[in-house]
């Protein structure tokens, strides 16, 4: 059986859900860089908004989502339309990142009336950067002599840090580049770390980049007071 395509997944969900489907959208690198999804080891990310989540919905989703996951893609994030509208303060970074790079596959545009507070973004960003920094120091302390393990930890955490760098650039009034290399170069120039800090060759440099970014965002709060 042929592996399920993005268009095939969208068609099956739209047909199966009918009026219960509010929106299905693609987001992340596959939407930011057309064609990138097929190359990404973590597959293509999708968000499904529905009228409500109940046992009947899960029964409808089971087969198409199983085939989608079988094609090496993550299962979609599933929210009700009400949850989507009420959660901008809980996940402001994610909302802005999705807004910046998305493609509506089925249903209607979900962004009408959605507003994200700058202060909510800054607060979440500060919390996540400090949390990431503490976690990295903990695992680096435990694994520092194991170069392969440290390199793997940097690889795993890199995507999340890129999201934080995009959020930082937005808070600074800049439009984040879509390309990862250009993003790191611009963020590094603003924050003060070298453009090769995230290439995986220098754990100390990577840790310093996260530290400097956390300090930069923290200064934003102090300067705003």
16-53 pLDDT, tens digit per residue, is 999 999 999 999 989 987 554 444 446 799 999 999 99
- The span from the CA of 44 to the CA of 29, in Å, is 8
Give this prediction's pTM: 0.88
Please give the backbone phi and psi of residue 150, each rounded to the nearest 5 degrees, phi first.
-65, -45
Question: What pLDDT does 224 receive?
Answer: 62
**19 burial level (CB within 10 Å; 0-12, 13-18, 19+):** exposed
Domain range summary for the chain, segments of one domain joined by +: 6-107, 118-224
Q: According to CATH, what is the number of the domain 6-107?
A: 3.30.460.10
Whole-number Cα distances in Å, 85 to 115, 151, 171, 206, 217: 9, 39, 22, 36, 27
Contact 81, 50 (CB under 8 A): yes
Point out the residues of the chain with pLDDT beneath 50: 36-41
């Amino acid at each position: 059986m042929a592996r399920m395509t993005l268009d095939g997944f969208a068609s099956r969900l739209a047909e199966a859900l009918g009026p219960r489907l509010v929106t299905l959208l693609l987001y992340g690198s596959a939407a930011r860089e057309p064609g990138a999804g097929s190359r990404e080891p973590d597959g293509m990310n999708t968000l499904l908004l529905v009228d409500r989540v109940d046992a009947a919905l899960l029964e409808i989703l089971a087969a198409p989502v199983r085939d989608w996951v079988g094609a090496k893609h993550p299962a979609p994030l599933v929210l009700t339309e009400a949850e989507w509208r009420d959660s901008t303060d809980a996940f402001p970074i994610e909302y802005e990142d999705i807004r910046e790079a998305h493609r509506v596959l089925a249903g209607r545009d979900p962004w009408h009336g959605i507003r994200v507070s700058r202060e909510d973004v800054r607060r979440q960003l500060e919390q996540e950067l400090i949390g990431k920094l503490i976690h990295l120091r903990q695992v680096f302390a435990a694994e520092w002599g194991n170069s392969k393990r440290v390199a793997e930890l940097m690889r795993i955490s890199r995507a999340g840090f890129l999201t934080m760098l995009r959020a930082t650039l937005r808070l600074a009034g800049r439009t984040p580049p879509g390309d990862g290399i250009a993003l790191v170069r611009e963020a590094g120039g603003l924050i003060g770390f070298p453009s090769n800090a995230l290439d995986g060759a220098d754990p100390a440099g990577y840790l310093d980049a996260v530290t400097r970014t956390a300090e930069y965002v923290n200064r934003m709060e102090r300067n705003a007071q």
